[in-house]
Every structure is written in structure tokens, then in C-alpha cells.
Amino acid sequence: MAATGHASIKSHDGVSTLAGRWPLLGQRRPLVVYLCAIVGLDLIAMVVLGASTTLRWRDLLMFCALMGCGAVCIEATRRLGMPAGVARDLLSAWWLPVALLLPPVYALFSPIVLQILLQVRVKATVLYRRVFSSAAIGLAGCAASLAFHHVVDDPWALSQGDGGSIFYAVAAAALFSLLNISLIAIAAHTADPETPWREVLWNKESLLLDIVELCLGVTVSIGCGVNLVLLLLALPPVVLLQRSLLHAQLQAAARTDAKTGLLNAAAWQREADTEIVRARRTGDTLALLIIDIDHFKRVNDAHGHLMGDQVLVGVAATLRSQLRDYDVVGRFGGEEFVVLLPGADIHEARRVAERLRTRIGRMAIPADDALIRVTISVGVALMSVHGDDLIELLAAADLALYRAKELGRDRVCVPVVQPPPR
């Protein structure tokens, strides 16, 4: 689940409310009900399956060995930290063998162990998020374990290379991944119903990571069945893969704005400079937009900074949905956004700017018993007409934006004075 900034919620008399001390109670009611239902279902499954499971030393030894490997992975990557928002790891390489080889009750407990370690050793986050993550992973692993044990009488047949057992293991691993991502996606969509399903479900990168986790989990399961000592051979490559994955995520996080997910100012400037050099070399047209949310301070004053952040997120999502994949869009700071439109002339740039202005004007952010609506002002500049480099284009677009605000806001403007031809 995506992490959100923490802020104290206060009542009108300035006294912290219960929601301020318990962040879960400050969430949307449907989300609170859903999270509690998942956690409750997880607890019920623990009690029911725990009462019907016979503890065996062999099972306990394998469980401890797999959790130990997960702990080593966490400790080996701890110094890298964890990016904000949704972070991916390869801990399923240890959760899946628990689900496939051990009784289903172990699958319910395995994520609790590693989530506690993540909370204590890597990054302390809002507690209910950790609890829900543990419950979602546990239920997905339990369902996969029940399905696998239902069709495979002896799970240790995996170690003998039985083709049928391996096929069912892959199917169970796929079921685990499907259920886990579905439970989390439902929570994300319940938290923000305006978020399109395609943004909370799979994309190409997450699908590839799920396939990698599936392969690792099944491979580790086969190795465990042969001999627990083989975990010592599986551990180094998994640690290396997890470090590489976290490093890539941290690099991506360094380029993006934490609140909106758009490029930050420095990353946007680097990509914009590259596009301008390319356009200058090829002779293509290129336009730049500076977008400012009108009267944004009033939103913060009237509804608080948390709702102001939601407005920023909504504007960013609208920008992404209305622009092409190769347009360069970023947050310039505060309530300002910048967009570079490769290949656009002045007419297309104005058309795109007007479309953005219209779509954002129709956007509504729910706040208590009201809907927050905002408008934007846009300044447009064209390369080789209003400037030849990024600094000149930004200055020209900023002047146009200032004019739009002087004329009453909620409009698109281009620079009035054209620089003389060189």
C-alpha cells in the first residue's frame, strides 16, 4: 500500500482527536471496514487451522530456516533503506516454500515474522499498514497452501522432480500472487475510489517481478525438499537480486516527487534539456507549459494541508492521463507543474493546455461533506519563437502564466511580446 504523510488531526477546540492518535480511524469508513474484515478473517483462519494442525519438529525446523533466510535478506538490504510508497521485495521467495511444503497455518504466521522485522529494523510505518500487509499475504499464502495440499498428497514429491507436483506448485504460486495483489488493490481503490484500477493492479514491471518471485519460490521449495542445507546456496542470489531491486527503486524514487509521483524539478530539468538538444538537432518543434493551481492557498487554509496534498495528487493524475507517454511532466514546486511537449507547435500546445485546464476544472476531490474544485492557469512558450534554451523557455512561459493570472486566472496565455528574429 502507498504510504501517506502523517499529520495530526485536530478538533475545532485544538484537542487531538482519536483519529490523530489512531490513524486508521482517520481513513474512509469503507476502507476501515475492509481492513478490519481482512485482519479478522486472518485471525479466524489462524485459530481454526492452528487447532487442527499437529506440530512436528521437522516442520518447525523448516519454518525457522526459511524465516531465518528472510531475516538475512532484510538485514543484508537494511542499509539501503526503503523507498516511499509502494515498495517491492523478493520475500515471497521464502513465503512460498512455507505455503507449499508446510501445513497451511504456517503460511498465516510467516509474514508476521518478517513484517515485524521490517517494521523494527528497516522502516517504521503506520502500524495498521503492516498488520494489513501481514494479513493479506497470510491469507493469500494460506489459500495457495490449501489448494496445493488438496491436489498434491505428498508435497515433498517436489524434491523428486515430479512433473505434476511442480505444475501444481507453479499454479499455487500464481494463485498466491493473484490473491495478494487483489487484496491490496482493493484496499488501494477503496482508499481512493478515483484511482483507476489499472494503476492499482499489474503493470509490465510488477508482472515481471511477480514471475521472478514465482520462479524463485518454486525453486527454493524444490531445494528445501531435497535438503535444507541447499538454502545456503539459494540465499546469496536472492539477496543479490533483492539488493538490485531495492537499488533500482531507490534510484527511481530519487527522480520523482514524493507527493505526486511525477518527476521532481531536478529530474524534469535533465530530461527537458535532453529533449531540447534533440529538437534543436533535428529541427522539430517543441513547446513548454507552466501550470499553476489557482488560489491553492485557499484550499490549504479551508480544508487543511492533507486535503491540499490530495488536490496535488488529483491534478498530477489528470496531467498523466491527458498527456502522451513521451511528454515530460513534472512538479516544479509548490502548486506549479511543468510540461514539455516534443513535436508540438503553438496551436497544438494551446489545444493541449486548454484540454488540461478543462479536465482539471471538472475534477472534484471529496472533503468531509463538500467537494473541492480547482482551476489552473497555464503559460505556454514555443522553442525558437519564445526562446532557444530551457532557461529562456521557462522565463517566457512564466511571463505568460503571470499574464493569465492578471487577466483573472483559469485561462491559457502565451507571451505577448515576441522576441525579434535573430
Joined together, the cell numbers standing for residue 350 give 494551446
Q: 296 to each of 76, 301, 336, 373, how far by Cα in Å?
A: 44, 9, 10, 10
Query: Given this model, what pLDDT does residue 403 score?
Result: 93
Domain residues of the chain, as ranges? Answer: 23-253, 265-413
What does the pLDDT average to over 136-140? 95
CATH value of 265-413 in 1.10.3720.10, 3.30.1180.20, 3.30.70.270, 3.40.1400.10: 3.30.70.270
Joined together, the cell numbers standing for residue 116 give 515485524
Angle (nearest 5°) at CA 59 between 56 and 61: 105
At 396, the pLDDT band (50, 70, 90 cuts) reads very high
Question: Are β-strands 376-382 and 412-413 bridged in parallel, bridged antiparallel, or unpaired?
Answer: parallel
At 187, the pLDDT band (50, 70, 90 cuts) reads confident
Cα 256 to Cα 91: distance, rounded to the nearest angstrom:
25
CATH value of 23-253 in 1.10.1760.20, 3.20.20.330, 2.10.109.10, 3.30.1370.60: 1.10.1760.20
Start-end of H helices in 102-162: 104-117, 127-151
Checking phi first, is residue 369 left (phi over 0); if not, alpha (psi -120 to 50) or beta?
alpha
What does the pLDDT average to over 275-290? 92
| Equal fold, 23-253 vs 265-413 | no
Q: Annotated catalytic, 213?
A: no
Spell out a b/e string for 307-321, using b for 16 or more CB atoms within 10 Å of the CB, else e: bbbbbbbbbbbbbee
Statement: residue 86 has pLDDT above 60: no
What's the start-to-end Cα distance of the chain, in Å? 54
Q: Among the options 213, 335, 354, 392, which is catalytic? A: 335
Cα 26 to Cα 210: distance, rounded to the nearest angstrom:
32
Per-chain mean pLDDT for the chain: 84
- 3-class secondary-structure state, position 49: helix
Angle, helix 104-117 to helix 57-77, in steps of 10 degrees: 30
Angle (nearest 5°) at CA 405 between 404 and 411: 45
Joined together, the cell numbers standing for residue 55 give 506440530
Question: Are β-strands 336-342 and 328-333 bridged in parallel, bridged antiparallel, or unpaired?
Answer: antiparallel
Statement: residue 207 has pLDDT above 90: no
> Which comes out higher in pLDDT, residue 245 or 18?
245
Over pLDDT 70: what percentage of the chain?
86
